[in-house]
Amino acid sequence: LYPNDNGPMGKELRLRQQYFFSSASLQDLVHHYVNTVGTDFSKFHEYHVIQLNDTHPVVAIPELMRILLDEYNVGWDDAWNVVTKTFAYTNHTILAEALEKWPIDVFQRLLPRVYQIIEEINRRLVIELRQKFPEDYYNQNHMAIIHDGKVYMAWLAIHAGFSVNGVAALHTELLKTQELKNWYALYPEKFNNKTNGVTQRRWLLSSNPELAEFITKRIGHGWEKELSLLKGLEKYVDDEASINELIAIKRHNKEKLAEYLKHTQNEFLDPESIFDTQVKRLHEYKRQLLNVLHIMYEYNRIVEDPNYNPPAHTYIFGAKAASGYRRAKAIIKLINAVADRVNNDRRVRGKLRVVFVENYRVSVAEKIIPASDVSEQISTAGYEASGTSNMKFMMNGALTIGTLDGANIEIVEEAGEENAFIFGLKADEIIKMKSEHSYNPQKYLDRNPQLAKVVNQLVDGTYDPSGMLFKEIHDSIVYGVEGQPADVFFLLADFDSYCQAQEKIAKEYADQKTWARKCLMNIANSGKFSSDRTIEDYVKDIWKLKKVTVK
Ligand SMILES: *Cc1c(COP(=O)(O)O)cnc(C)c1O
């Protein structure tokens, strides 16, 4: 199942699946241990670490307790000793609504014995909480694994595991100081960071063979297994022939993508134009809507000012919405409505084009990313735990337009801020405005008539004759809907700054050589973002494995 990640869940089938896979894995692992080591479980953790990849398999914690207690007659304290040395937890999001919570009645009906064990774990935790936070009744209640009629799976993982990690430096800091600060106060030694990575075997060698060959011709083989070697490309930034070859490779990848989209959805793309790409799940925090509002603004500007002659720009989108996420689907509809309007207006022909790529998936990402000039990473600061497409784009020589969010911060640290287009409010500024309730989106509409016009065009018939299709999107920005305040993702606050970053892109793209040098600096400094480095960090800091040489 691909569930909604934006709203409450309570689907029994999902819990059944989680239990099925977790229990099957544990049974396999315990049988193997019993057959090779025996039924003395005191050394179990020396042979096994179980890395809980998000909250989905956290039911494995009480399930291992159940197997040890009920099937091998281990006592509670010995079983708990095994469990707390075996499990480690990776947190993947700060969106509170995405942390799984199960209604007690669903859990109890489906897994009565496992629920009983969670109750006992919780009873002992609450005693610990009373000692650690005397008279702090909020913490005592809120940190309990069972409260308010629900089972909090993340709390269970943090309490029972020996390690809690975030997936980018900023994300881990926000866990420690914001979302999980009470848990950090209780267990500071458990918290650590493991910045995500992607594999260069898929995202360079396989998906961009021409760039892979360009690299190997200059630094030889070895980077396929040790990506930090890409640093050796830096010395070619002033080599004319290398820069020209890099430009030619990008050009050829753009032609191949244009050919593919002609063939698959009869879209015409101009490889001369800037390929400016935002491909990722559709979610309001990722702010595809900010990108669209800027395109609407740019469209108005070209139509209204005959002297305005920006370089040709193709905006490429790819996104799926979770099945029940109505507003995400409306945003996809809006992107397509804007594409329809813009692509059929002679006044902007050759200057502006919008393409929505259908059925976005890894095999399509492998074609789009090597062909992109600009990587859109524009989430509201503090909301994107890490991001990984930002890394894929970086190693394929696309320049990032982005906020200081998730791994973007580390990307810019590695590549240099002069080789990216950074804009917008920072995470601490967003946090402050939220806590003080000081954000007034109306101020930005009053101050910028072009922005006000674009927002009004969501409902004035420009993109939908009925004026109704995009009304909820409009109202969510201007008034707030469903009890939420207006513009919860700060689109209007960041709009000006985003436009300025886009103007800078238009200006700098005109100088192809300087642009390509920046692309090369990004490629050369993308070594940190190999998943080999990530896994090595897990091996050293959490799993404590010794290396085995493979002959
Ligand atoms: C890498 C990848 C993602 C993740 O993208 P983000 O921009 O980091 O959210 C999502 N979908 C596909 C198909 C990908 O290849």
Residues involved in catalysis? 92, 280-281, 286, 388, 392
Rounded to the nearest whole angstrom, what is the distance from the C-alpha of residue 223 to the centroid of ligand 1?
A: 23
273 and 130 in a common domain: no
CA of 382 to the centre of ligand 1 (A): 18
pLDDT, tens only, 114-153: 999 999 999 999 999 999 988 888 888 999 999 999 999 9
Nearest CA to ligand 1 atom 10: 280
- Residue 397 phi, psi (nearest 5): 75, 40
Q: What is the DSSP string of 336-359?
A: HHHHHHHHT-GGGTTTEEEEEESS
Q: What is the DSSP string of 291-310?
A: HHHHHHHHHHHHHH-TT--P
Does residue 428 fall inside a structural domain? no
Q: Which of 194, 224, 239 is the last residue before a domain boundary?
A: 194
Nearest CA to ligand 1 atom 1: 389
Whether residues 333 and 261 fall in one domain = yes
Phi and psi at 312, nearest 5°, equal -60, 135
Residues 292, 362 within the same domain: yes
pLDDT, residue 551, reads 86
Helix, strand or coil, per DSSP, at residue 316: strand
Protein residue with its CA nearest to atom 2 in ligand 1? 389
**Nearest atom, ligand 1, residue 391 CA:** 8
Look at residue 537 and tell me if it is in a domain. Answer: no
Residues in the ligand 1 pocket, defined by CB under 6 Å:
280-281, 361-362, 365, 387-389, 392
The type of residue at 179 is E
In a domain, 546, yes or no: no
Q: What residues of the chain score a pLDDT lower than 70?
A: 1-10
Does residue 397 lie in a domain region?
Answer: yes
Are residues 45 and 145 part of one domain? yes
Distances (CA, A) of 40 to 24, 63, 72, 141: 21, 18, 10, 36
216 and 321 assigned to the same domain: yes
Which residue, of 167, 194, 221, is where some domain finishes? 194
As given in the structure block, the two tokens for residue 527 are 């070594």
Specify whether 183 is located in the same domain as 51.
Answer: yes
Residues, the chain, total? 551
Domain count, the chain: 2
Are 497 and 359 found together in one domain?
yes
Same structural domain, 175 and 214: no
**Tokens describing residue 254:** 């753009």
Give a yes or no: residue 159 inside a domain.
Answer: yes
> Are 101 and 165 in the same domain?
yes
Nearest-10 Cα torsion for 245, 248, 250, 255:
-160
CA of 38 to the centre of ligand 1 (A): 43
Q: Are residues 30 and 85 in the same domain?
A: yes
Q: What percent of the chain has pLDDT over 90?
A: 93
Range of the domain at 22: 8-194
Q: Is there a single domain that holds both residue 36 and residue 115? A: yes
Query: Does residue 430 lie within any of the structural domains?
Result: no
Alpha-carbon span 469 to 459, nearest angstrom: 8
What six digits make up the tokens of 458?
Answer: 């969501």
Q: Which of 194, 209, 225 is the last residue of a domain?
A: 194
Q: What is the domain-level CATH number for residue 322? A: 3.40.50.2000
CB neighbours (10 Å) of residue 484?
10
Whether residue 460 lies inside any domain: the answer is: no
Q: How far apart are CA 36 and CA 251, in angstroms?
A: 57
Task: Looking at the structure, tell me whether residues 212 and 335 fall in a common domain.
Answer: yes
How far does residue 196's CA lie from ligand 1's centre (Å)? Answer: 12
pLDDT at 4: 53
Flag whether 474 is in a domain: no
